[in-house]
Amino acid sequence: MKTVRFKATINNRPVDLLIAPNRRLLDVLREDLGLTGTKEGCGEGECGACTVLLDGRPVNSCLVLAPEASGRRITTVEGLAEEGRLHPLQEAFLEAGAVQCGYCTPGMLLVAKALLDKHPQPDERAIKTAISGNLCRCTGYAKIVAAIRLAAARLAGGKGAQAGSGCAKEQKGPGLPVSAGLRVVGKSPPRVDGVAKVTGCARFAADLKLPGMLYARVLRSRTPHAVLRRIDAAEALTLPGVVAVYTAADIPGQNSTGIIVKDEPVLVAIGGRIRRVGDPLALVVAESEEVAEAALAKIKVEDEELPAVFSALAAISAEAPKVHGNSNVQSVTRIKKGDAEAALAKAQVVVSRRYTTQMTEHAYLETEAGVAAVENDLLTIWVSTQNPHYDRREVARVLGLGQHRVRVVQAPTGGGFGGKLDISVQCLLGLAAWKTGRPVKMSYRREESIIASPKRHPFVIDYTSACDGEGRLLAVKVRIIGDTGAYASYGPATLKRAAVHATGPYEVPNVLIESFCVYTNNPTAGAMRGFGVPQIAFAHESQMDLLAQTLGIDPFTIRLRNCLKTGSLTATGQCLEAGVGIAETIRRVREKARELKMLEK
Ligand code: FES
């Protein structure tokens, strides 16, 4: 293979390598030089996680060919701390709480450094402009802006960094003895993993590298609904570097996963059903990621396409194509309190509306990734996850192993928001490592992550509210249809939660609620921040505004008139005996809104 010389100064050290001319700077830094503080988030120059400084200017290293950076001065996050001392920016990020999952942090620090090197006293607008190409899914940016201002002030005051640094101690953290509790309540103790994250020392799953490691990639369906007829991997297996191609027939245990219902295949079996675009069909294991990727294109798939359904409303009709079994209704939750129909019939004001909410992608900056290895009959999987104990049970079941032979280690997780509660790479990695006997790594590309990962459930909500002439709620009647996509995941629990919270923080004497978790051929929906509650909150709060508007009363007044109080009965009949703070919260919001002149009076 043709190679070119790559000579550069990286973090003040000379580097001299022979590399293929088409290598990205990001890959040379991470793979050849082990500088894994530079992260890959999208691979398309959109997220900024891979930012490095090239002759002092921030660039997305995923878009720079390494030969273009030859002869230049490169700074990565590992080069910020000097002589064992954190850079003031690193300190400020820790102090301001600007580090959460930490996946965006290296890129943020480097754009901030480039800014302060050029404009030591930037205003807020300049800071926001500087970081505008870097996405953060955790912090909301305010603390990042505050941290940059803090660092700028410190640098201007000539104060150097005080805290120590170093990868050797950063993973331990200070620890908090119980007796220290009173000293930390109301304060922000340092993150135990903060220093690791600001120095680039934290090892996320895709940063791990083991000797003799193989790489896995998944072949996914392109049809949303079909019967899988044939997989022919003969040509893929002839590619030099391909170690194996696994299909459902190679799974030694049970070929199914699912937190509530085991309805999702690890790999679709021949004769089995494809239920969405992105269903996994085959697993390629190869000596390099490039070879694994190339092999995917050599696998031939034959399927027999079936009619598909892409709307939950259509899916509940009797004629709709069935995704599982004889009905697309996966589960139903019903809540009845009093007599809603009778109360609606005699109410003075009745408001009915349909609300629809969209599917939402979690878009955590770190895509799904993991590494698996077998040693002494023990399978260990280091993985980006929110649910290691569940992962362990699923991997053991799929591989037909006792749980004592499976260990799952949660690697630092670059955002999850509920989306990493489901199985992603775990079972496939386990299969590959168990079968080959060698360590295996798999990490999703951004496109694959979006295709394969669960989403927030889209809802269709029909909501009717009734009140008297003073705005006192008399009844609500709600029907919620939630699209769980091809597999149940957390759908039944999400729809149940939506039903339980359908009356919001209000006391309603007569309630009739039905929620339906419905299968379609859409991407699977699972857990996401709020678990069905944000969707239904949009509906019940809109209803309160409409009732207030209809009656010509203040929206705060109608809420205060109806909100739950100590002694209230919820829609499910629970008596709230103490600690109900919603009225006080509404009053405080009203005061603040007045203070900010958001209200007329
Ligand atoms: Fe910014 Fe998580 S801290 S993406």
Using CA atoms, how far apart are residues 36 and 411, in angstroms rounded to an integer? Answer: 14
Positive or negative, the CA dihedral 445, 450, 452, 454 is positive
End-to-end CA distance of the chain: give it in Å, rounded: 75
**pLDDT at residue 308, as a whole number:** 98
57-60 sheet: strands from edge to edge: 13-19, 4-10, 73-75, 51-54, 57-60
The Cβ of residue 514 has, within 10 Å, a number of other Cβ atoms equal to 18
**Could you tell me the distance, in angstroms and rounded to a whole number, from the CA of residue 570 to the centre of ligand 1?**
37
Nearest atom of ligand 1 to the alpha carbon of 49: 4
Ligand 1: which of 46, 50, 109, 136 to mutate, most ligand atoms within 8 Å of CB? 136
Per-residue pLDDT tens over the stretch 483-492: 999 999 999 9
- Whose tokens are 């010509």? That residue is 552
**pLDDT at residue 187, as a whole number:** 79
Using CA atoms, how far apart are residues 307 and 434, in angstroms rounded to an integer? Answer: 37
**Could you tell me the distance, in angstroms and rounded to a whole number, from the CA of residue 364 to the centre of ligand 1?**
8
**pLDDT at residue 486, as a whole number:** 98
Per-residue pLDDT tens over the stretch 16-57: 999 999 999 999 999 999 999 999 999 999 999 999 999 999
Q: Work out the mean pLDDT of the chain and round it to a whole number.
A: 95
SS3 323: coil
Q: Please, how many CA atoms are within 13 Å of residue 51, restricted to the half-sphere of its CB?
A: 25
Share of the chain above pLDDT 90, in %: 93
Instruction: Determine whether the shortest distance from the Cβ of 136 to ligand 1 is under 6 A.
Output: yes
Residue 315 identity? A
pTM for the structure as a whole: 0.92
Say if residue 358's pLDDT is above 70: yes
Residue 491 · residue 520 · CB < 8 Å: no
Q: Helices 533-551 and 555-562 meet at what angle, rounded to 10?
A: 110
200: left (phi over 0), alpha (psi -120 to 50) or beta: left
Say if residue 173's pLDDT is above 70: no
The Cβ of residue 300 has, within 10 Å, a number of other Cβ atoms equal to 11
User: Average pLDDT for residues 355-375, to the nearest whole number?
Assistant: 98
**pLDDT at residue 1, as a whole number:** 75
**pLDDT at residue 251, as a whole number:** 98
Using CA atoms, how far apart are residues 61 and 76, in angstroms rounded to an integer? Answer: 10
Per-residue pLDDT tens over the stretch 54-81: 999 999 999 999 999 999 999 999 999 9
User: Average pLDDT for residues 213-240, to the nearest whole number?
Assistant: 98
**pLDDT at residue 179, as a whole number:** 52
Q: Whose Cα sits closest to atom 1 in ligand 1?
A: 136
